Amino acid sequence: MDKIAIITGSSKGIGAATAVRLASDGYDICVNYLSNEVAAKNIVETVKTYGVNAISVKADISSEKEVDMLFQTVDLKLGKPFALVNNAGILFQQSPVVEMTAERINKVLMTNVTGYFLCCKEAIRRMSTKNGGQGGVIVNVSSAASRIGSGGEYVDYAASKGAIDTFTKGLADEVASDNIRVMSIRPGIIATDIHSKGGEPDRAERLAPMVPLKRAGSAEEVAQAILWLASSQASYITGSTLDVTGGR
């Protein structure tokens, strides 16, 4: 099996930790990012210390053209992907729904939902055994927000993650006969920069006492779960959603 993985949004946070974790398991890695070239190149260097091939590709996953370019670059430089981790996600300043503009809502949905569809489409074309591929695995990074709803914070973001849980189940049914497994993972409160974008950099610390395990999770703890789902140890799992939330 050619172990090649594309991790969207892997210049930092959960995506970066996943790139490193998959590299430690022998995957060649494509680090995708939106703007932070320096951080992406640093992750590539870290990944290469595991003796695997790695590239970074700047591509906005909400753009069909850029997603096409991302996958064509991987074809040329690494080969056909076996694993796709759909991880790149965004949220905006905490806000009640009544104050959300259509522009904001559509931007969240374009990245967090349409972007996941577009990347899956390109991945399936390459992975499907019906097209001569070797099969594969797709892990969609959703969020516990899909259950909780994020009222008063970012319901647009939570709704986008609800869409991903539904997408995961439907797509898993569609591509099971192509030898592709599709799962989603729902991180809870994980200490990354995403909370700053919501306007509350210390959000993870504030909410930690509400978590049954009494702490925020780390990006590495989510990455471990993604690696397990992608591995042959999870070979009878597809269409499922795994909570990585410390019990919340």
- Cα angle vertex 172, ends 168, 176, to 5°? 170
Q: What residues numbered 206-235 form the site for ligand NAP, per CB under 6 A?
A: none
The nearer residue to ligand NAP, 39 or 237, going by C-beta atoms, is 39
- DSSP codes of every residue in 175-214: HGGGTEEEEEEEE-SB-STHHHHTT-TTHHHHHGGGSTTS
Query: 5, 6, 7, 15: which one contacts ligand NAP (CB under 6 A)?
Result: 15
Stretch that binds ligand NAP, among 75-83, 99-107, 186-194, 223-231 (CB under 6 A): 186-194
Selected range binding ligand NAP among 75-83, 98-106, 183-191, 235-243, rule: CB under 6 A: 183-191
CB of 131 to ligand NAP, least distance (A): 25
- Segment contacting ligand NAP (CB under 6 A): 75-83, 92-100, 190-198, 234-242? 190-198
Distance CA 100, CA 134 (A): 44
Decide if residue 60 touches ligand NAP (CB under 6 A): yes
**Which of 8, 73 has the CB closer to ligand NAP?**
8
Q: Is 246 in the site for ligand NAP (CB under 6 A)?
A: no
Measured distance CA(82)–CA(240) in Å, rounded: 19
Rounded to an integer, what is the distance from CA 239 to the centroid of its chain? Answer: 16
b or e along 20-40 (b: 16 or more beta carbons within 10 Å of the residue's beta carbon)?
bbbbeeebbbbbbbbeeeebb
Q: Which of 50, 154, 157, 236 is catalytic?
A: 157
| 133 binds ligand NAP per the rule CB under 6 A | no
157 is catalytic: yes
Q: What is the rounded CA–CA span in Å between residue 89 and residue 79?
A: 25
- Measured CA to CA, the distance from residue 13 to residue 158 in angstroms comes to 19
What tokens appear for 164 in the block? 């991903």
Q: Which residues are catalytic?
A: 157
Q: Which residues bind ligand NAP (CB under 6 A)?
A: 8-15, 32-36, 39, 60-62, 87-90, 111, 141, 143, 187, 189-190, 192-194
